[in-house]
Amino acid sequence: MTSIPNVRLLDDTQIPQIGLGVWQVPDDVATDACLAAFEAGYRHIDTAALYGNEEGVGRAIKASGLSRDDIYVTTKVWNTDQGHDKTVAAMKASLERLDLDYVDLYLIHWPTPARNLFVETWETVLELQQQGLTRSAGVSNFHGEHLRNVIDASGVTPVINQIELHPWLPQREVRAIDADLGIVTEAWSPLASGGLVDDAQLAAIGAKYGKTAAQVMIRWHLQIGNVVLPKSVTPARIQTNIDVFDFELDADDLITIEGMEDTSRRTGPNPDIFNEA
Ligand SMILES: NC(=O)c1ccc[n+]([C@@H]2O[C@H](COP(=O)([O-])OP(=O)(O)OC[C@H]3O[C@@H](n4cnc5c(N)ncnc54)[C@H](OP(=O)(O)O)[C@@H]3O)[C@@H](O)[C@H]2O)c1
């Protein structure tokens, strides 16, 4: 079984550097995917209220027989639940569906700037943290301006910023801002939602080490300091996606991957203008 290293966060907690993503995974399938992940050695699951599979994730946690302390669970407050009272209710509903007393990390899913509620929502997440309902407080899809707004208002820096990040969209600017603030960057759609798993350049790099393009991408995330959340419902892929600790990309490999940047291939919306439900 593979052992995945932890990364230390600003609040002195630790997060496993690879987690299983479960976006677009139906509730019952999520249970099997999480169980396959736990068996392979994952201890970190990334879900969200929006994904509709918190119950399935919770069932897997119970069925795993693992101690709650050994599992790291992230969930997120959805856009339409921003604002104090709705966020409190949303967090309680997530915990109920997960059948947990607390999550390890609660994230604001998107800033949705036009709603003008993300600062109030952030202050609410901190309140929920004080109450012990989440160990850590973080954000997702935040740009520098959004980060500065929540930090200025509360004096508290999010420990994680979860953003779309893959070789087409390496997010140099947001990563630099996160690093300056001591925020750990977490990569969502780390394989470009599957769009890069057959990429010839990545496959050629992988051939040098007996690894796949997906493993090369995951290794790249680790080497540039990201926490990384590959999604798969396929047990063999779940397994190989963490078989990435026995090789190292060299400087030439990193330059090749840097050269793949093509921001027009972003898979999700731009957080500055995404305000939808
Ligand atoms: N905060 C946010 O706004 C946000 C947004 C999007 C995603 N996320 C998080 O990030 C996670 C990952 O993002 P994602 O789901 O978009 O996609 P991803 O991890 O970039 O890619 C997943 C796709 O790649 C395939 N795949 C996985 N491993 C593979 C391998 N070794 N070889 C070949 N194909 C492989 C999967 O297929 P199979 O499943 O069929 O194996 C699936 O089609 C999500 O699940 C979610 O937790 C967060």
CA nearest 277: which of 90, 143, 80? 80
| Edge-to-edge strands, sheet with 227-228 | 20-21, 44-46, 72-77, 103-108, 134-140, 160-164, 184-188, 227-228
Residue 107 is predicted with a pLDDT of 99
**Ligand 1 pocket, 79 CB below 6 A?**
no
Res. 39 pLDDT band, cuts 50 70 90: very high
pLDDT at 30: 98
Q: Which of 187, 118, 186, 104 is nearest to 147 (CA)?
A: 118
pLDDT reading at 165 higher than 90? yes
Q: Ligand 1 pocket, 121 CB below 6 A?
A: no
Given a cut of 90, is residue 2 above it in pLDDT?
no
Please tell me the residue having the least CA distance from ligand 1 atom 36.
Answer: 232
- For the record, the structure tokens of 57 come out as 């994730």
- pLDDT for position 102: 98
Per-residue confidence band for 84, with pLDDT thresholds at 50, 70 and 90: very high
Task: State what percent of residues in the chain have pLDDT above 70.
Answer: 100
Distance in angstroms (rounded) separating the CA atoms of residues 182 and 9: 8
| Residue of the CA atom closest to atom 47 of ligand 1 | 21
* Atom from ligand 1 closest to the CA of residue 231: 19
Q: Say yes or no to pLDDT of 277 above 90.
A: no
CA of 189 to the centre of ligand 1 (A): 5
The pLDDT value recorded for residue 276 is 83
pLDDT tens string 188-230: 999 999 999 999 999 999 999 999 999 999 999 999 999 999 9
The pLDDT of residue 247 = 98
- Each residue's pLDDT tens digit, 103-152: 999 999 999 999 999 999 999 999 999 999 999 999 999 999 999 999 99
Annotated catalytic, 51? Answer: yes
Q: Whole-angstrom Cα distance, residue 45 to residue 67?
A: 14
Predicted local distance difference test score (pLDDT) of residue 50: 98
Domains of the chain: 6-262 (3.20.20.100)
246 burial level (CB within 10 Å; 0-12, 13-18, 19+): exposed
Residue type, 64: S
Q: How far is the CA of 79 from the centre of ligand 1 (A)?
A: 21
pTM for the full predicted model: 0.98
106 Cβ closer than 6 Å to some ligand 1 atom: no
Residue type present at position 242: I
> Residue 245 pLDDT > 90, yes or no?
yes
**Tell me: the pLDDT tens digits for 168-189?**
999 999 999 999 999 999 999 9
Residue-averaged pLDDT of the chain: 98
Residue nearest ligand 1's atom 24 by CA: 194
Q: Does residue 1 surpass a pLDDT of 90? A: no
Over residues 86-109, the pLDDT tens digits come to 999 999 999 999 999 999 999 999
- Given this model, what pLDDT does residue 53 score? 98
Q: With beta carbons less than 8 A apart as the criterion, state whether 107 and 136 touch.
A: no
Q: Is 266 in the pocket of ligand 1 (CB under 6 A)?
A: no
Percent of the chain past pLDDT 90, that is, above it, reads 99
